[in-house]
A and B are shown apart, each in its own frame.
Chain A
Amino acid sequence: MPSSIATNIRGALETSLSGVAASVYSEPPETVIPPAAIIVPDEPYMETEFIGDDSVRVKVNYTVSAAVAYYSNAGSLDNLEQLVISILAALPLSYIVGNVSRPSVTQVGATYLLVSDISISTYYTQTN
């Protein structure tokens, strides 16, 4: 069965994060139920770093957006910090983990969320 980024990268990452006390989305959802960990393609999304063309091999970059309900500064920040730490702990060792962005308030529908983005990267080889 051919590999796919949806299954072998985002799906596998979703499974790894399933132990986190949050809704985990392997792609940006239409609605977010906080607390949530959302896997979002980063910029650049894919980088070609390898020589040769016998297989398509790319470095793929994502952010995992950690989102919690925004009710009060102190409580929400504490919730966000705990969520970020639990996500970092759950990330597979084969992932390169970058920085965690400054929290920001985002409105999704009628819900206010406190969100931080965790930069991660890994490598993908297409197999047929």
Chain B
Amino acid sequence: MATQVITGRNISLSFTGGTDIEAQATSAVLTKVNERQTYQTLDGEAYKTTNISGTFALEMLADWGKENSVCEALWAAAESAPDTSISVTLTATTGAQFVFGIMPDFPTAGGAGIDAQTVSFNFKVYQGTVTETFS
């Protein structure tokens, strides 16, 4: 079969709340991890996964002051409902969709004079739960 190449341009991303995230995001990476314990037994290593966690790393251009601002929505959510997840839908490419909740974090504000203001997040995925749809 032919080699498939997918790029960041294949990605689509949306948050609940109607923010214009795709217009701002320069990088979006979902990471789901098996937190696995390793035991040394007389038969060799044995493994037990005790938890599944996830993080969602997002890099974006700051959009303070914009209509449907992502930064303002996240700031408001982090302030008013810090323990309530926000639903995110990330499509890596057609046929590979991931839906998960993230715990809201405050965005940074400001930046260096020489560059565009940017914001970096490393969100915790709610309960490490990701609903994937592969087709």
Contacts and interface: CB of A to CB of B under 8 A. Distances in A.
Contacts, number: 40
Interface in B96-127: 114-116
B9 A48 contact: yes
Given A51-B22, A51-B25, A52-B25, 8 more contacts: A50-B26, A51-B9, A51-B11, A51-B13, A51-B28, A55-B22, A96-B116, A123-B116
Give the size category of A's interface with B. Answer: 10 to 19
Contacts of B131: none
A53 B23 contact: no
Interface of B: 8-13, 22-23, 25-28, 61, 114-116
A58 B4 CA distance: 24
A97 interface: yes
Nearest to B115: A96
Interface in A10-68: 48-55, 57
Nearest to A119: B114
Nearest to A125: B23
Contact of A98 (B9, B27, B114): B114
Report whether over half of chain B's contact residues are helix, strand or loop; otherwise say mixed: mixed
Contacts of B11: 51-52
Contact of A52 (B22, B61, B115): B22
B116 A52 contact: no
26 contacts: A48-B9, A49-B26, A50-B8, A50-B23, A50-B25, A51-B11, A51-B13, A51-B25, A51-B26, A51-B27, A52-B8, A52-B12, A52-B25, A53-B9, A54-B12, A55-B22, A55-B23, A57-B23, A96-B114, A96-B115, A96-B116, A97-B114, A98-B114, A121-B116, A123-B61, A125-B23
The 10 closest A-B pairs by CB, nearest first: A51-B11, A52-B22, A53-B9, A51-B8, A49-B26, A51-B25, A52-B12, A96-B116, A51-B28, A52-B11
Interface in A101-128: 121, 123, 125
B114 A52 contact: no
Contacts of A53: 9-10
